[in-house]
Chains A and B, each alone.
Chain A
Amino acid sequence: MTEIIEKLILYFQYPFVRYALIVGILIALCSSLLGVTLVLKRFSFIGDGLSHVAFGATAIAVAMNLTNNFILVLPVTIISAILLLRTGQNTKIKGDAAIAMISVGALAVGYLIMNMFAKSANLAGDVCTTLFGAMAILTLDDGTRIWIGEYPIPMKVFMCAVLSLLVIAVFMIFYHKIFAVTFDEDFSTATGIRASVYNLMLAVIIAVVIVLAMTLVGALLISALVIFPALSAMRVFKNFKAVTICSVIVSVVCAVFGIFLSILVATPVGSTIVVVNIIGFLIFSFAGFVRRGFSG
């Protein structure tokens, strides 16, 4: 046990490990906030589709040699999110088909572009990293720095922190409206809540969350980060507030646990966090089962 603690202490002397933990917690926090809404609105797959779009955009950013790929990936993902939510409502191609089309298309185009233009010697490694997240938490730091006072903060860490705080702030301000629009869109619209505006806002937030989470767990595993905590919380709790709070806690705990575990046993961060989330889900399912059993 002391051995484990010593190893962790050793690691946490490096600033990049501390950054990884901070970023991990923030991303876990804001990705879980919207999980409940996405699951309930039957939007789970939109997250998945968007993450593939983000992958395609990342490939283009890599081919263009952009140092900060957020500049390209974020707007592209946001636009796709808005388009996807629009098509869900009224077009010839129905929602799920549109998502499948866009997501697979973006994946193929992304891989193609990476193959044609990437200058890196380790192409397979690059693709793997974009799809499944960093192999180790070291790669969160890409060398660029932003100076806050006299502290050099890695650019990516800074962007992640700012964006996730923004997402959390927006969610807290519009909490009740998001609840109302999720629960009953028609009623909200009928009584003068601009549901379409909030749907648009949700689309933008989802896109931001996905781009953020991609740095932590990679494009293919993002949905897990969004959906698992919400599903776990919904097994046990029965009102919106409790479910939201619980899913945030579950998500953060799983992320911290996953990061520690990946340091100790040298596994990829993203998939470790997701596996911890799966275990969390099983525990909550069992707890929910027991609870229902007792209450009859």
Chain B
Amino acid sequence: MPQLTCKNLTLGYEGKTVISGLTFTVNAGDYLCIVGENGSGKSTLMKTILKLKTPMSGQVILGDGLTSSEIGYLPQQTVVQKDFPASVREVVRSGCLNRCGFRPYYNKAEKQMAEENMEKLGIEQIAKHCYRELSGGQQQRTLLARALCAAGKIILLDEPAAGLDPKAAVDMYALIEKLNAEGITIVMISHDIDAAVKYATHILHIGAQKVLFSGTTKDYVQSEAGHIYASGGSQK
């Protein structure tokens, strides 16, 4: 059974449809990349999967033992975070909060988990540093570590390489690939079609209010939608 099934979703806001007929599945261990133009509904789709938004029609079904609190999320940065006085450790630990329930403070296991995830992403040396003073790549790693604390099975990433310099972006993709190799399902929004084709196992291409392509990367490269990108990628 797939971990995530989207069935005939219609998304939009304020009564306007952005995309309809959205149907796809994500299996455990998949690396799905969602590509499409600005405004095609990529972020809305992700927020719908996370239950931050309700779809206009259709369903998001979780399966394979996945519950909604086991989905990790790497959002785009917000304005608030730009001058937020928080240490890396504080931010990463906040990912454990959904395990706490009504317990007001973190227990040993949760603190340990935060440390392990910081180590995994190579940010343990900067644990005490202030989040707002880090480089873009370090900030993304911090948020990724937090997402890992929140969920060990599936992670949704919203443009993880946006605003990073080329080297940091490559590092970021390598890190995500490593996590995927360890068995974590990845669902990623990206503008970067080259990276999508290079790393993802599956591609979902949306645009013009419908699904242009949904399937494996291998098929995508051969497909019509894929050709738009391959031939110069003028349609960003």
Contacts and interface: CB of A to CB of B under 8 A. Distances in A.
Given A183-B91, A239-B90, A240-B90, A192 B85 contact: no
A242 B90 CA distance: 11
Interface residues of B, number: 38
Interface string B56-91: 000000000000110111010010110111110011
Contact of A186 (B73, B83, B133): B73
Nearest to A236: B85
A42 B80 contact: yes
A175 to B, nearest CB: 7
B87 A240 contact: yes
Contacts of B153: none
Name the interface size band of chain A. Answer: 20 to 34
Given A186-B52, A192-B98, A239 B81 contact: no
Nearest to B94: A180
Given A172-B104, A190-B51, A190-B52, A243 B94 contact: no
A188 B97 contact: yes
Interface string A113-157: 000000000000000000000000000000000000000000000
B187 interface: no
A18 interface: no
A191 B72 contact: yes
A243 B80 CA distance: 16
Interface of A: 36, 40-42, 172-177, 179-180, 182-184, 186-193, 234, 237-243
Given A188-B94, A238-B129, 16 more contacts: A40-B83, A176-B105, A183-B84, A184-B78, A184-B80, A186-B52, A186-B73, A187-B147, A189-B50, A190-B75, A191-B71, A191-B95, A191-B98, A193-B97, A237-B85, A240-B87
By Cβ-Cβ distance, the 3 closest A-B pairs, closest first, are: A238-B130, A192-B69, A239-B87
